[in-house]
Chain A
């Protein structure tokens, strides 16, 4: 029940004792602010680091063929393994954990020209799926599609830097470039989602359909490596194991041979970073909650002092007919009100500052490697607020009980 009189009584007391109120509120305010701020900064650090990994990296692996290390079924060690498009089809058919397959065949430093300009570029033979597996984005036009593959079209998607080199400000779409003397029609421009040092090659390469490339340049239809993504809810390491086992069987490789089929995924590295952030987060929570607790203990402490200071007042109130319940309620409501208000202000300031940093970074396009889009954990904030009200009650309870037990005779004794 909202008791207007009680609140007027409490507001009156608070208004007349501003310094006391501010001192009480400060600890809680700072505690909540620190909690929100620390968690916000932690989230910024986390999203910054994960942005470096690239969003699609988590469920991705690479598989390639290499020399075997063990003799098996009459084959000697040191045999070269070549992965073919048949292997690709077999994986697609037999390993349900695999979501997408992106084969890649490379021709390094091939002579490419457009009108009077020329350069040596890496040519990649691919399937359309590659743009979805690797952190790539189409900047203009389109990537490869199924028709390109089915009709073995001579089309090319050029990296953004190469496009600039050949076409400058002009749009390259529909133009023809010569790759090793063969004309390819440019259908799109692509680049990495995030420009990182190890992704620079994505801006320079030229992508063509895999089968067009093999046919046009007289290459065997083998692939250098495959990028594979596991289906959702499947750990990539599980898919990896099955893919490698399948390829080993298909190529007559000893099941225990560490070579023959090369493979790699970053799941473990990501797991490590995830664990690191779990650690950092727990630490931040620990510090934040510790600060908060210190604030609450501070409130309790100050309330105790206040009760001491108000002994006489409480004695007078009791002599005038205040029940112990009304005294407890008075001290408790004051305590809860101060903690809740201070906590709310801390929450507000923390949110404003973290949001402000996020906004400023966005508005002024500030980019750092390890910090991105800090976010306030609203659930944590509201949780902290609820906790504060409970804590305010507990913080006020001991002083309130003490206040209620004030002996009016002692309290009113004249010094």
Chain B
């Protein structure tokens, strides 16, 4: 599903160049449940951005579901993000002026799905994360755990092949973290590849495979 071959990435600042990823090789099979661990500065966020087609890499090759992700137009990037990937962020990143239902439905808007169908699907996915009763609430009326579940529902609605989660439990207490992780497990059982970036051992223990990054190279996988 995901293949990284000798990925290099540097950030140019005004005075020096920061070599963040120094040749990453990873092969993640479809339906895998993987966590990426590493201290801050290890390059795990950069790697996730590259996997999410939010950032470009300098060298190497990245295949996502068989497509080479390189030199794409912004439109193609948007298309792959929309159809293959689902994002879950540490800070949820819900749109504050939209209700839970509208937030969940948003990716389908960019797939040009009919409005009525969008609403129905959104309710269906909210039901899956146990928030059907909260469909018409705004994010600021919900707890962090609830918001994250809305965000997961949103990432799932476009039926992606891969879920990329960046510290999804970073802002949650341990009880809600467990709830969220259980949802991820459920999602994974449906055959969706799940990738979680985390620095918590309890979280990584719940995944099937742990990739450890250190100073831009893979320490173990």
Residues of chain A at the chain B interface (Cβ within 8 Å) = 4-5, 8-9, 12-13, 16-17, 312-313, 315-326, 404, 408-409, 412, 414
Contact = CB atoms under 8 A, between A and B. Distances in A.
29 contacts: A5-B112, A8-B115, A9-B109, A12-B98, A12-B102, A13-B97, A313-B95, A316-B94, A317-B106, A318-B78, A318-B81, A319-B52, A319-B54, A319-B81, A319-B87, A319-B93, A320-B107, A320-B158, A321-B79, A321-B107, A321-B158, A322-B78, A323-B78, A323-B79, A324-B75, A326-B110, A409-B55, A412-B54, A412-B89
Contacts of A321: 78-79, 81-83, 107, 110-111, 158
B78 A412 contact: no
Given A4-B115, A321-B110, A323-B75, A412 B93 contact: yes
B82 A320 contact: yes
Contacts of A323: 74-75, 78-79, 110
B95 A316 contact: yes
Nearest to B49: A409
Nearest to B86: A320
B90 A414 contact: yes
B154 interface: yes
A412 B93 CA distance: 8
Interface of B: 49, 52, 54-55, 74-75, 78-79, 81-83, 87, 89-91, 93-95, 97-98, 102, 106-107, 109-112, 115, 154, 158
A409 B54 contact: yes
Nearest to A319: B87
Contact of A324 (B78, B90, B154): B78
A106 to B, nearest CB: 83
Contacts, number: 68
A47 B209 CA distance: 87
A233 B74 CA distance: 64
Given A9-B109, A12-B97, A13-B97, A320 B52 contact: no
Nearest to A313: B95
A371 B81 CA distance: 66
Nearest to A408: B54
Interface of A is mostly: helix
B93 A316 contact: yes
B134 to A, nearest CB: 18
Given A318-B78, A319-B52, A5 B109 contact: yes
A104 to B, nearest CB: 80
A120 B35 CA distance: 117
A324 to B, nearest CB: 5
Contacts of B112: 5
A66 B49 CA distance: 101
B110 A320 contact: yes
Contacts of A320: 81-82, 87, 106-107, 110, 154, 158
A9 B115 CA distance: 11
Nearest to B75: A323
A17 B93 contact: no
Nearest to A17: B97
Contacts of A414: 89-91
Contact of A16 (B75, B97, B107, B109): B97
Contacts of A326: 110
A245 to B, nearest CB: 80
A322 B55 CA distance: 15
A182 B106 CA distance: 100
A325 B93 CA distance: 22
Contacts of A315: 93
Given A8-B115, A16-B97, 18 more contacts: A5-B109, A5-B115, A9-B109, A12-B98, A312-B93, A315-B93, A317-B106, A318-B54, A319-B81, A319-B87, A321-B78, A323-B75, A323-B110, A324-B75, A404-B74, A409-B55, A414-B89, A414-B91
Contacts of A319: 52, 54, 81, 87, 93
B102 to A, nearest CB: 8
Contacts of A408: 54
A324 B109 contact: no
Nearest to A8: B115
Q: Name which of B54, B83, B89 has the most chain A CB atoms within 10 A of its CB.
A: B54
Contacts of B83: 321
B97 to A, nearest CB: 4
Contacts of B107: 320-321
A152 B61 CA distance: 114
